[in-house]
């Protein structure tokens, strides 16, 4: 099938969170918001029950990927889990009994994309603690997707998490680790590998001919020449010098506290930050409802809403589908670019 004839593969996420209801809401807004065709991988009966409980008029159709795009205009296409597993969930009450279905949905979505039946993976939010309680070995979605992307007998690719919005794009160099571990993990090699992947995918996926990167410092004032910590001077600065010698346009390390105001944002396409929260706090402050999580460095396109499961509001019918809709639209845009040679677009509008 041509890329336009393939649906996006949307995962179930944690069924006790807001994932199922924002998927239903996104389908209802398909015409008004330009939502591209997607197929949810999960339990059709559970989706029907969720729609009924929320009072949403959403017909659910159990279909194969080949028929999903045609069906999408009149019903939400759902592909049952390959195992036939059923889902039972109480909103706001995560249950390890659903861990297998959550993981199976992710695996099935990747299989669909790798087989060519779907054009990209879009993941609904999961709660990592639910999965780790049953032996899930990965820190989160990003790392699990990298493991799934690995070819037989090869090391998984380095997954790079980019949070994208029209206002700001950011990349945390270290992701789901305790803050006290960051100085040991933040090596010059990791910074360089991350920046190379960001640079390559901004060119290949986003169509930027010469991406502009900036690197935030780890310590206050980017270390003040070593007086407030040596990592900026001894690790980050040499990494930037090496990357610039390769022809990559990157500046830094620069103080994080002056990197995200409007004038500063106009000088770069993406900001790399040493820690998870250094990167995610500014984008979630500026674009909480519109931000999209994009995994770079994978052999397929993967996007996700930039928020979590929101167990506190699950089942109340108040969750906004905006970030999921943005993730679906961006996934389609990225997946189509190599095939259709669409006009390149900047990371920031």
218: Cα separation from own chain's centroid: 24
Is the same domain home to 38 and 136?
A: yes
Q: What is the mean pLDDT of residues 183-190?
A: 96
Q: Which residues are annotated as a binding site for substrate?
A: 141-142, 284, 293, 302
For the chain, strand residue ranges (E) read 8-11, 38-42, 60-62, 76-80, 121-122, 160-164, 169-172, 212-216, 249-254, 270-273, 292-296, 302-305
User: What total number of domains does the chain contain?
Assistant: 2
- Provide the whole-model pTM: 0.88
Q: Distance (Å, rounded) from C-alpha 251 to C-alpha 268?
A: 9
Is the same domain home to 152 and 212?
A: no
**Does the pLDDT value for residue 341 go beyond 80?**
no
Q: What is the pLDDT of residue 4?
A: 61
> Where residue 139 falls among pLDDT bands split at 50, 70, 90?
confident
Closest by Cα among 219, 159, 215 to 188 = 215
**Does the pLDDT value for residue 120 go beyond 90?**
yes
Last-in-domain residue among 240, 256, 286: 286
Q: What is the mean pLDDT of residues 291-313?
A: 93
Closest by Cα among 275, 325, 329, 323 to 301 = 329
Q: What is the mean pLDDT of residues 15-29?
A: 96
| CA distance to 103, 123, 241, per residue, from 17 (Å) | 15, 13, 44
* Residue 294 domain-assigned (yes or no): no
Tokens representing 89 are 């969930």
Q: Distance (Å, rounded) from C-alpha 288 to C-alpha 274?
A: 21
Tokens representing 320 are 């906004």
| CA distance to 21, 28, 82, 217, per residue, from 317 (Å) | 7, 13, 29, 41
The reply to whether omega before 248 is within 30° of 0 (cis) is no
Sheet holding 169-172, edge to edge: 60-62, 76-80, 38-42, 8-11, 121-122, 302-305, 292-296, 160-164, 169-172, 270-273, 212-216, 249-254
First to last CA, the chain: 31
Report CA torsion sign: 137, 141, 143, 144: positive
> Where residue 151 falls among pLDDT bands split at 50, 70, 90?
low
Is the same domain home to 339 and 249?
A: no
* Residue 295 domain-assigned (yes or no): no
Radius of gyration for the chain, computed over Cα atoms and rounded to the nearest angstrom: 20
Angle 320-7-329 from CA coordinates, rounded to 5°: 40
* Residue 265 domain-assigned (yes or no): yes
Q: What is the pLDDT of residue 295?
A: 93
Q: What is the pLDDT of residue 146?
A: 87
* Residue 49 domain-assigned (yes or no): yes
Q: Distance (Å, rounded) from C-alpha 94 to C-alpha 293?
A: 23
Q: Which residues are annotated as a binding site for a divalent metal cation?
A: 176, 221, 276
Q: Which residues are annotated as a binding site?
A: 141-142, 176, 221, 276, 284, 293, 302
Is the same domain home to 148 and 31?
A: yes
More confident residue, 143 or 161: 161
Is the same domain home to 180 and 36?
A: no
Q: Distance (Å, rounded) from C-alpha 334 to C-alpha 302?
A: 9
CATH of the domain at 345: 3.40.718.10
* Residue 293 domain-assigned (yes or no): no
Closest by Cα among 249, 189, 244, 191 to 217 = 191
Q: What is the pLDDT of residue 348?
A: 41
Q: Spell out a b/e string for 37-72, using b for 16 or more CB atoms within 10 Å of the CB, else e.
A: bbbbbbbbebbbbbbeebeeebebeebebeebbebb
233 DSSP assignment: I
Q: What is the DSSP string of 181-215?
A: GHHHH--HHHHHHHHHHHHHHHHHTT--SS-EEEE
Is the same domain home to 256 and 277?
A: yes
> CB count, 10 Å around CB of 234?
12
Q: What is the mean pLDDT of residues 130-155?
A: 82
> Where residue 153 falls among pLDDT bands split at 50, 70, 90?
low
- Residue 250 neighbours by CB under 8 Å, 6+ apart: 195, 199, 212, 213, 214, 215, 240, 243, 244, 272
Read off the pLDDT of residues 209-239 as tens digits, 9 standing for 90 and up.
Answer: 999 999 999 999 988 888 888 999 999 999 9
Is the same domain home to 273 and 204?
A: yes
Q: What is the mean pLDDT of residues 243-261?
A: 97
Q: Distance (Å, rounded) from C-alpha 128 to C-alpha 324?
A: 19
Range of the domain at 207: 168-286
Backbone dihedral angles phi then psi of residue 337, each to the nearest 5 degrees: -60, -50
* Residue 240 domain-assigned (yes or no): yes
Q: What is the pLDDT of residue 346?
A: 40
Is the same domain home to 4 and 98?
A: yes
């Amino acid at each position: 099938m041509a890329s336009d004839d393939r649906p996006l593969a949307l995962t179930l996420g944690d069924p006790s969170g807001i994932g199922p209801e924002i998927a239903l809401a996104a389908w209802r807004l398909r015409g008004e918001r330009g939502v591209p065709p997607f197929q949810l991988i999960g339990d059709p009966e559970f989706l029907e029950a969720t729609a009924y409980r929320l009072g949403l008029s959403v017909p659910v159709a159990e279909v194969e990927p080949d028929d999903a795009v045609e069906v999408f205009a009149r019903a939400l296409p759902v592909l049952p889990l390959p195992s036939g597993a059923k889902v039972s969930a109480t909103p706001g009450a995560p249950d390890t009994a659903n861990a297998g279905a959550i993981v199976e949905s992710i695996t099935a979505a990747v299989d669909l994309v790798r087989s060519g039946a779907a054009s990209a993976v879009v993941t609904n939010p999961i709660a990592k603690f639910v999965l780790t309680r049953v032996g899930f070995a990965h820190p989160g979605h990003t790392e699990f997707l990298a493991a799934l992307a690995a070819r037989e007998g090869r090391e998984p690719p380095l997954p790079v998490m980019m949070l994208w919005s029209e206002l700001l794009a950011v990349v945390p160099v270290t992701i789901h680790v305790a803050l006290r571990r960051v100085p040991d993990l933040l090596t010059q090699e990791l910074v360089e590998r991350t920046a190379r992947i960001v640079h390559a995918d901004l060119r290949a996926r986003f169509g930027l001919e010469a991406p502009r990167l900036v690197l935030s410092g780890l310590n206050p004032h980017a270390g003040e020449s070593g007086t407030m910590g040596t990592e900026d001077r001894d690790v980050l600065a040499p990494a930037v010098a090496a990357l610039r010698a390769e022809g990559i346009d990157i500046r830094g390390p620069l103080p994080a506290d002056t990197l995200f105001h409007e004038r500063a944002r106009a000088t770069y396409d993406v900001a790399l930050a040493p820690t998870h929260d250094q990167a995610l706090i500014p984008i979630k402050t500026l674009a909480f409802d519109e931000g999209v999580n994009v995994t770079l460095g994978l052999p397929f396109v993967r996007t996700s809403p930039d928020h979590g499961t929101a167990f506190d509001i699950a089942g109340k019918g108040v969750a906004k589908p905006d970030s999921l809709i943005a993730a679906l639209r961006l996934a389609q845009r990225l997946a189509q670019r190599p095939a259709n040679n669409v006009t390149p677009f900047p990371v920031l509008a």
